[in-house]
Amino acid sequence: MLIWDHDDDKLREECGVFGVFGHPEAAVITALGLHALQHRGQEACGIAAFDGKLFHNERHTGLVGDAFTGKDLLKRLPGSWAIGHNRYPTQGTPAIRNIQPIFADLDCGGFAVAHNGNLTNSRSLRRQLVDKGAIFQSTMDTEVILHLISRSDKARITERFVDALGQIEGGYALVALSENMLIGARDPVGLRPLVLGDLDGASILASETCALDLIGAKFVREVEPGEIIVVTKDGVESLTPFQRRSTAPCLFEFVYFARPDSMIQGKSVYEVRRRMGERLAQDTPADADVIVPVPDSGVPAALGFAEASGIPFQLGIIRNHYVGRTFIEPTQTDRQNSISKKHAPNRAVLKDKRVVLVDDSIVRGNTSKRIVRMVREAGAKEIHFRSASPPIRFPDYYGIDMPSEQELMASRMSLEEMRNELEVDSLGFLSVDGLYWAVGDVKRDPNTPQYADHCFTGDYPTRLIDRRYDEVGRDAQLSFLDD
């Protein structure tokens, strides 16, 4: 999900989607599901519900718990089926028009859609649609999908949906709502996650299994890459209209985005992150007194590092849980200012100690540098920084919040330059092979990578059509559309 800004070409967002069909309190269930997925989007949220006659759509800035509360929620959003969305940007001013789900009255009836991911040909599609007279109300690439559905010459809504998806490229997990069905879809590569669940006979679609756990739903299965799930009063139907491709789920779900209590491809995210730390300790050992995680995302890897190294694990940094992730601050200045509010040193653990700091990743390096200085000022004698992911050298174009290549620390610096910049005694990263081992005990196939590892290798799993326009000079700059 990316903001289309003529003056900016930075990647910014990741989101969460949720849908329910056949529950009398669909809006409440959706709000609870979105609450479980709050880590995937903290700037805005929305719910669309259908009561059998009318669609009801609410979109708000802020957190789910602030927007969708009160005894009147079911009066505001009545109906037995609903979809919801969390939005997760890091720049720009929030606008209601860019909050999902988005809704339109089509000639085949009302239709609402919510989208996690990013389309890599949305700009070119938007240009073609505008040339044909389409009028856009937002800057979201999700609206491109809505226009493609509207203009399809197919008869049934499911056929129109398939027709639209056949024209888009990139990574996506979609949930959509018509007057008689809930639809879910996952991109053919499987970049963005989507799962199917059951709550007392009501069908559930969600970005992660943690949303199923919170509402007490049973996990049925993952939606397969390229699969379309259609839920009606007659039951659940699976469509596989697209030619099979080599699948490559995004490794960054394991590294950072997914909640640690979620399951992806049958694997515990927590256990994978613990194994990342275990392998990190084997590949980049350090002579130290204490292992300290950068909370919260560095905790599982730090535990694995401590177990493998035999060095004690301690909470040397205390996180203020009332401050959001630094990734979601609108500007770099805000990100830097929030770090001191977000983390505090536990001086009793750090003073006069040789410390191994373990974090999930290093992106720009600004947060890491400030944390190192904080730990040093708390009295640490040595600081050895370890990243539980490989160096991030390439931007993502599929919806993950990540800066341009020029801003990525590992893209513009050598390992020694990074060590000097961070002011640490040693610096180590998990290798790509180590990450593959942690995820599935496999070695990376260089010809057909089993996972989307483009942020580390530059090996992108789909065509980057909009980006190619810029490279040949057809556009002044790269800019993608918000989803």
The answer on 276 and 184 residing in a single domain is no
The answer to whether the beta carbons of residues 8 and 479 sit under 8 Å apart is: yes
Of the listed ranges 7-16, 46-55, 348-357, the least confidently predicted one is 7-16
Task: Return the percentage of the chain with pLDDT > 90, whole number.
Answer: 77
The answer on 312 and 241 residing in a single domain is no
The answer on 97 and 52 residing in a single domain is yes
Answer yes or no: is 198 a known binding residue: no
Answer yes or no: is 66 a known binding residue: no
Has residue 201 got a pLDDT over 50?
A: yes
Q: Is residue 256 part of a domain?
A: no
The answer to whether the beta carbons of residues 43 and 329 sit under 8 Å apart is: no
Q: At how many degrees (to 10) do helices 269-283 and 432-440 cross?
A: 140
Q: Is residue 467 part of a domain?
A: no
What pLDDT does residue 280 have? Answer: 98
End-to-end CA distance of the chain: 4
What pLDDT does residue 340 have? Answer: 58
The answer on 210 and 69 residing in a single domain is yes
CATH number at residue 133: 3.60.20.10
The answer on 334 and 208 residing in a single domain is no
Residue 441, sorted as left (phi over 0), alpha (psi -120 to 50) or beta, turns out to be left
The answer to whether the beta carbons of residues 55 and 113 sit under 8 Å apart is: no
Q: Is residue 6 part of a domain?
A: no
The answer on 330 and 204 residing in a single domain is no
Residue with more model confidence, 463 or 435: 435
Range of the domain at 386: 267-455
Catalytic residues: 15
How is residue 121 written in tokens? 């040909």
Residue holding tokens 């992150």? 273
Q: What is this structure's pTM?
A: 0.89
The answer on 165 and 214 residing in a single domain is yes
For residue range 87-146, list pLDDT tens digits in order.
875 333 457 888 999 999 999 899 999 999 999 999 999 999 999 999 999 988 999 999
What pLDDT does residue 321 have? Answer: 73
List residues bridging with 175 in a β-sheet. 114, 184
Find the radius of gyration of the CA atoms of the chain: 22
Of the listed ranges 276-280, 304-308, 419-423, 443-447, the least confidently predicted one is 443-447
Q: Is residue 260 part of a domain?
A: no
Q: Is residue 460 part of a domain?
A: no
Amino acid letter at 77? L
Whole-number Å distance between alpha carbons of 43 and 204: 24
For residue range 79-103, list pLDDT tens digits in order.
999 999 998 753 334 578 889 999 9
Whole-number Å distance between alpha carbons of 11 and 400: 7
Whole-number Å distance between alpha carbons of 20 and 461: 31
CB hemisphere CA count around 296 (13 angstroms): 14
Whole-number Å distance between alpha carbons of 239 and 174: 14
Task: Look at the chain and report how many structural domains it folds into.
Answer: 2
Q: Is residue 314 part of a domain?
A: yes
pLDDT band at 327 (very low <50, low <70, confident <90, very high): very low
The answer on 434 and 348 residing in a single domain is yes
Q: Is residue 475 part of a domain?
A: no
The answer on 450 and 368 residing in a single domain is yes
The answer on 300 and 242 residing in a single domain is no
What pLDDT does residue 401 have? Answer: 67
Q: Is residue 173 part of a domain?
A: yes
Report the pLDDT averaged over residues 451-464.
Answer: 94
CATH number at residue 336: 3.40.50.2020
Has residue 472 got a pLDDT over 50?
A: no
Q: Which of 219, 248, 277 is the last residue of a domain?
A: 248
Q: Taking Cα atoms as reference points, which of 118, 80, 423, 390 lies closest to residue 251?
A: 390
DSSP 227-264: -EEEEETTEEEEE--S-------BTHIIIIIS-TT-EE
The answer on 133 and 71 residing in a single domain is yes
Has residue 462 got a pLDDT over 70?
A: yes
Task: Return the percentage of the chain with pLDDT > 70, whole number.
Answer: 88
Answer yes or no: is 411 a known binding residue: no
- CB-based burial label for 265 (10 Å; 0-12, 13-18, 19+): middle
Report the pLDDT averaged over residues 444-464.
Answer: 93
The answer on 218 and 281 residing in a single domain is no
